[in-house]
Amino acid sequence: MLVVMHSHATAEQVRAVCERIESLGLKSHPIPGAARTAIGITGNDGAVDLAILESLPGVAECIPVSKPYKLVSRDVKEEDSVIRIPTPLGDVLVGGKHLALVAGPCAVESEAQCMAVAEQLKPTGVRLFRGGAYKPRTSPYSFQGLGEAGLKILAKIRDEFGFGIITEAIDHESLDLVEKYGDVIQIGARNMQNFSLLKRAGRAKKPVLLKRGMSATLDEFLMAAEYILSEGNYNVMLCERGVRTFSDFSRNTLDLAVVPAVKKRSHLPIFVDPSHGTGKRHKVLPLSRAAVAVGADGLLVEVHHQPEKALSDGIQSILPEEFAALCIEIRQIAAVVHREVN
Ligand code: PEP
Ligand code: MN
């Protein structure tokens, strides 16, 4: 259910409608738009009695939302959501006309490694740094990440270079710490349907980057985002990172067609990760070009100064100089599709 307020409705009237919704034992989600505020209602198993709400001052109309997802839907918010990521050097914007680049190693391996990568990334103009301190690995014997010590290294990278930090949380415990040290909480593909973790991310005060599960349908992907919004965190960015198919020439099949599909259904921005999406270094640049051309709101790229020595995903990591060349091309393509890179 969605309550659409008049464009001239006052903040007081919006508050009164929310209070009324809450008094019915339901949850209200006021979502301000450019023209008007819409109030999403969740927690209702059956139909809410429309008449009660429709008669309240400032209400334009009540529309039942038939889709399984509500708060992530374009029905609730017509225009693109623009997510604001605070960094020491000012906010990075994602969505609408704003396109963001994220670069960094798969994993935080050591302070020296992160410093080396960050130093070489700084001149490219990229403003967001990635790196996993908690690594969900297929094998329990593979490098699992440095944990909190890795987060402290990332915090140092932020202080030294001014980057915003994006890093993954794999459970409740790590999410508490990622929220403390990082700027964006990444929920990885393997946890896309970890509903308890999604709810926790929904109670977090920092933006969330939600990666698509490797076999998730679009509905499942959007429903996972809905979990986060339904808990009150509206700062969610999606990320296509490739899905499992019968293709035998790349690690995953990067589903770029999902980008316009998401845009049709949702106001949330969507990143593309060409690194996990292909698994091969030489495919990162061509798929990055395609991702921006198709409307992605950002790129998440794995970069390592010594990929042959990387503790994880060296084969898909590009060198800082290759990322610098990618940035130049991406800025050119972005201009053609009327996007601003930040
Ligand atoms: C990552 O970005 O570090 C990662 C583990 O990606 P995914 O969850 O998409 O596999
Ligand atoms: Mn990786």
pLDDT tens per residue across span 230-288: 999 999 999 999 999 999 999 999 999 999 999 999 999 999 999 999 999 999 999 99
Query: Per the domain annotation, does 206 fall within a domain?
Result: yes
Q: Is the pLDDT of residue 48 over 90?
A: no
Range of the structural domain that residue 105 is part of: 83-341
Same domain, 40 and 116: no
Query: Which residue's alpha carbon is nearest to atom 5 within ligand 1?
Result: 188
Same domain, 207 and 100: yes
Same domain, 274 and 326: yes
How far is the centre of ligand 1, averaged over its atoms, from the C-alpha of 188 (Å)?
5
- Total domains in the chain come to 2
Given a contact cutoff of 8 angstroms between Cβ atoms, the answer to whether 211 and 237 are in contact is no
- Residue 272: CB within 6 Å of ligand 1? no
Q: In this structure, what CATH number is given to the domain that contains residue 243? A: 3.20.20.70
Pocket probe for ligand 1: among 129, 211, 250, 278, the residue whose CB has the most ligand atoms within 8 Å is: 211
3-state secondary structure 190-221: HHCCCHHHHHHHHCCCCCEEEECCCCCCHHHH
Q: Which residues surround ligand 2, an ion (CB under 5 A)?
A: 106, 313
Same domain, 231 and 114: yes
- Residue 158: CB within 6 Å of ligand 1? no
pLDDT tens per residue across span 125-142: 999 999 999 999 999 999
How far is the centre of ligand 2, averaged over its atoms, from the C-alpha of 106 (Å)?
4
Same domain, 158 and 281: yes
**Ligand 1 closest atom vs CA 190:** 8
- Residue 189: CB within 6 Å of ligand 1? yes
pTM tops 0.85, yes or no: yes
Query: Per the domain annotation, does 73 fall within a domain?
Result: no
